[in-house]
Amino acid sequence: MDVSGILASHAAKYKSVTVEKETPLEVDAGSLMVTDLNPIDEESYNANLEEHLQSLARDGAQALFASLFTLPTRPSADGPLAQLPPPTYQLPRAKPLPKPKPPTKWEVFASAKGIQKKVRDKKEWDEEKQEWVNRWGRDGKNKQLEDQWITEVPLHADVDFDPRKVARDERKARVAKNEKQRDQNLARAAGKGPREERKRDIEKTLATTRISTASMGKFDKKLDGEKKVRGVKRKFDPTEAPIDHEKEASLALISRMESDSKKTRREPQPEESVLNVRKAVRFASKGRGGIALGRESAGGRGRGRGGRGRGKR
């Protein structure tokens, strides 16, 4: 019995599970990725593009699945799960590189003068104690003058001259100066210094004057290198953000609107009846007010009289 025909038709129906290529496919099972480095076969590409792409995709998928089935598995409720190895392919970074920090004033000066940065140790050798001590901080060397038990006083010093206090004040002033310079550096980096503010002011004034002509700046003579004035671009919330934030913002807005209307509304409430209650109370109590009226109806006459005296305000 000749089964070669059946076998041939069977083989045509089911393609081989092994993928043979000139350059073997690179499979990165960790990120479920296959890279085909073979050059494109121009003949089949031109003949039938769709078929060519499908066969390429089929080979890639076949190679990926073949590699997945060699991986160790772990049983789970949904059937065995393959345990992926860590990915080997280096994905490009999603975010751009962080921008370098703007140089401080000192760094600019140092680079101009060619001064090299020297890293000082935090510890310093103390000859007297014969040990390493902190340069600053706890038991720092910079506090030595304040801590020593005897201090030299300069000639012709005041009676109340306190060498400890002088040394401490000098140290504190140095710290304050450093802090101030740091703040100035930060402000310069953020573009918030007095210089930048002045620059912004001038630009604003210039933009205003340019549109302050009869034609609102449309038919004015343009100068060379004059930049186009750009307005403020409107910015909206993203459409696809989670809806909960939007809901909360709306509810907050409604409650704010309600409280605003309560604050501003001074006219009588619309739910009030035809009866003018204030006027009716004044009439019934003969001008003495609601409290006196209530007391009169509840208690005896004597109390009512007492109330009358106090009721006159």
Applying CB under 8 A, the residues found at the interface with other proteins are 236-237, 239-241, 243-244, 246-247, 249-251, 253-254, 257-258, 270-271, 274
Closest CB to other proteins among residues 232, 241: 241
CB of 245 to other proteins, least distance (A): 10
d(CA 90, CA 104): 36
Q: Nearest 5°: phi and psi at 290? A: -70, -35
CB of 266 to other proteins, least distance (A): 16
CB of 272 to other proteins, least distance (A): 9
- Integer CA distances (angstroms), 99 to 96, 102, 103, in order: 9, 9, 12
Residue 187: exposed, middle, or buried by beta-carbon count in 10 A (0-12, 13-18, 19+)?
A: middle
Contacts of 168 (CB under 8 A, 6+ apart): 146
Cα 114 from chain centre: 37
The full length of the chain comes to 313
Closest CB to other proteins among residues 46, 239: 239
Closest CB to other proteins among residues 17, 253: 253
Q: Nearest 5°: phi and psi at 91? A: -70, 145
CB of 258 to other proteins, least distance (A): 8
Closest CB to other proteins among residues 84, 253: 253
CB of 265 to other proteins, least distance (A): 12
Closest CB to other proteins among residues 46, 273: 273
CB of 279 to other proteins, least distance (A): 17
CB of 277 to other proteins, least distance (A): 15
* DSSP annotation string for 116-152: PP-PPPSEEEETTTTEEEESSSTT-GGGHHHH-S---
CB of 276 to other proteins, least distance (A): 13
Residue position matching structure tokens 């019934």? 284
Closest CB to other proteins among residues 41, 258: 258
Closest CB to other proteins among residues 86, 270: 270
Closest CB to other proteins among residues 50, 271: 271
Cα 70-52-27 angle, rounded to 5 deg: 25
Element (H, E) at 269: none
Helix (H, G, I), strand (E, B) or coil at 257: helix
If we measure between CA atoms, which residue out of 148, 22, 28, 39 comes closest to residue 88?
Answer: 28
